[in-house]
Amino acid sequence: MANVPNPEELTKVEYRPPLEPWMDSKAEFKKGAYCNAALPKWLEILDYPYPREWSVTDEDWKLPENWKEIFLTAFEDRLDRFRSFRLFMDICVRCGACADKCHYFIGGGDPKNMPVLRAELLRSIYRRYFTRAGKMFGKLAGARDLTEDVLKELFYYFYQCSECRRCSVFCPFGIDMAEITILGRELLSSVGLNIEWIMASVGSCYRTGSHIGAPPHAYKDTIEFFEEECEEVTGIKPNPSFNRKGAEILFVAPSGDYFADPGTYTFMGYLLLFEYLGLDYTVSGYAAEGGNFGYFMSHEMGKRLNYKIYAEAERLGVKWILGGECGHMWRVLNQYMDTWNGPADFLEEPVSPITGTKFENAKATKMVHITEFTADLIRNGKLNLDKSRNDHIITTFHDSCNPARALGLFEEPRYIINNVCNNFYEMPEDTIREKTFCCGSGSGLNADENFELRMRGGFPRANALRYVHEKHGVNHLSCVCAIDRAVFPPLLEYWVPGVDVTGVHEMVANALVIPGETERKTDLRFRPLKGFESEETEDD
């Protein structure tokens, strides 16, 4: 990461597009702006086509001999299967409203990162091979031949889209770049072009149970470690069960929450909350992954990973499923799970065992978002909360792309934050809720080698955070997304040092007064609470 430009250099963005027409320019693979090629072993595990050793920077990508035919056949197939795809290929008027809505364009200025043009990369091929005008008039009709250079360009730019859907909010026809990117990546997959970061996660998740490759026993081990950490802070040791049949609720969290700080604190928050409630729940080493990197490479792979949740719920005989804080996980659970792997007739309509509230909005998928669950608890006065325990936290809330634009979960997290924390400030209006900015690393782009692109993509979010940081002294960014919790720390260290990242349930557990707990002097991260700062220094 030595050759990453500093923030000052990175904010000198050239938005003026080059004079050379876009169809004539080849993609230039800039170091720090692409992800490495997938290793063959993952493709073999997953039965994905054309596993081979190749490298993005090589001239020869070792494509299958008839790659063009495969690509175009797969293209036609997707056109026949997805109305969205066919429509979005047909109706764009290139008004340009989406151009400056993409965080990669705002932070990088590469004109092919304007959503309209990123889509045109594929549309030009659509016109050439699937429309009469394109076949007849070629370039004049905005069509171009599919060549290896074009394929490389597609690869480069479809892995510079984080499927955040912000452009779709502003498009007068609702054209969704995320949909085009998902299908574009499927097409790339069909000729054996995948990135390692996604494939490794998917391959690991498929077999071991989670993206991070933790098999059931390791998963249990990790959680037991959290139990001890919880005990150290609160004196209370949560007692979750593993793969237990007959539990009322199956709890599924994204693996990011038990992989690394600060996600782990959120996981500790879940455990403490459940312990406080005496919830009859279990976690599973098979459905150990709420997130779904499979969805970042193809619909099929998304389905194959998502399959485990219902399958495991059925095997364990639980009544309903509770899902942790995660962004794309909730897009999948909301918009795809039931269609892919439902109907979940073997489950019951979710009812909170504590408050008796029926979650009627989840009566088909039978899966409840944990912020809904907790908001309901707070609303019914079931939680004894001491807000002052979060007084060292001045927070803002980052709406993650998917809960915002593919579910519409805005109020629950805010309601919870307002009930557990005294200092909450919103970022500027144009950067929150449905207009929220991506962390810059979503959709499987959070690989280290992709660092510069991630910093550029995260710039708009960081810049809005900078505003409340300076104005209100905000020192925490709270969010309900595991990828956020994984990628914001380096991003904020780069752009807005001094701001930490926290999950909503970490703050809940900080504030939660659990009967029988020891006096809390620190938060879950062992940072002194307000009023206990001096004691901490004495201990040192």
Partner 1 sequence: MSEEKKEIINSLKETGFYKPGKIYDRGKVIAGIVVFIIVAAFPFFYNAGKAAKMPEPKLDTPVIRQLPEAERVCVLPKQEMRENHMVLLDEWRDQVVREGNREYTGYTGKKYTISLQNTCMECHSNYEEFCNECHQYTVQTPACWGCHIQKPKEWAG
Partner 2 sequence: MSFNLAYYFPLFSVIALLFISYLGVRVGLEMFFGVIMPYLAFIVFFVGVIDRIVKWARTPVPYRIPTTCGQNKTLPWIKRTIRDKFENPESMFYVMGRMFMEVFFFRSLFRNMRTELRPWGKYPEGGKLIYWSSKWLWIGALAFHYSLIVILLRHLRFFMETSPSCLNLLESLDGFFIIYAPTVYLSGLVLLAAIIYLLLRRIFDMKVRYISLAADFFPLFMILGIGITGLFMRYFYRVDMVAVKELTLGLATFHPTIPEGIGAIFYMHLFLVAVLFAYFPFSKLMHLPGVFFSVTRNMAGNNRWKRHENPWEYEPRHFTYMDQEDMYRKQMKKAGIPLEKDIEE
State the DSSP string of 34-99: SPPBPPHHHHHHHT-S------TTSS-----TTHHHHHHHHHHHHHHH-HHHHHHHH------TTG
Q: Of these partners, partner 1, partner 2, none, which one is at the site of residue 74 (CB under 5 to 8 Å by kind)? A: partner 1
Smallest CA-to-CA distance from 370 within 341, 412, 405, 339 is with 412
The residue among 188, 156, 260, 184 whose CA lies nearest residue 43 is 188
Rounded distance between C-alpha atoms, residue 52 and residue 521, angstroms: 54
Out of 33, 38, 74, 504, point to the residue binding partner 1 (CB under 8 A).
Answer: 74
Choosing among partner 1, partner 2, none, which partner's interface includes residue 425 (Cβ < 5 to 8 Å by kind)? Answer: none
81 binds partner 1 (CB under 8 A): yes
Which residue carries 């984080």 as its tokens? 162
Query: Which segment (137-145, 192-200, 231-239, 262-270) binds partner 2 by CB under 8 A?
Result: 137-145
Residue type, position 264, single letter: T
Among 12, 16, 83, 132, interactor with partner 1 by CB under 8 A: 83
Q: In the set 37, 92, 200, 499, which binds partner 2 (CB under 8 A)?
A: 92
3-state class (DSSP) for residue 358: strand
- Smallest separation (angstroms) from partner 1 to the CB of 180: 19
Region from 24-32, 73-81, 304-312, 319-327 binding partner 1, contact rule CB under 8 A: 73-81
For tokens 């065992």, the residue is 353
List the interface residues with partner 2, window 458-487 (CB under 8 A).
Answer: 459-460, 463-464, 466-467, 470
Say which residues have a Cβ less than 8 Å from residue 355's Cβ, sequence separation at least 6.
376, 377, 380, 382
Query: 351 φ, ψ to 5°?
Result: -130, 130
DSSP state of 361: G
Q: Are the C-beta atoms of residues 335 and 182 closer than 8 Å to each other?
A: no
Q: How far is the CB of 485 from partner 1 (least distance, A)?
A: 34
Work out whether 480 is an interface residue with partner 1 (CB under 8 A): no
Our CB check for partner 1 shows the closer of 77 and 228 to be 77
Q: Which of 170, 197, 274, 293 binds partner 2 (CB under 8 A)?
A: 170
Q: Which of 4, 39, 260, 311 binds partner 2 (CB under 8 A)?
A: 311
Q: Is 98 in the site for partner 1 (CB under 8 A)?
A: no
Structure tokens at 178: 């995320």
Rounded to a whole number of angstroms, the minimum distance from the CB of residue 173 to partner 1 is 16
Q: How far apart are the first and last CA of the chain?
A: 34
- Encoded one letter per residue, x for contact with partner 1 by CB under 8 A and - for no contact, window 368-407 reads ----------------------------------------
Residues found near partner 1 in the complex (CB under 8 A): 66, 69-70, 73-74, 77, 80-81, 83, 300
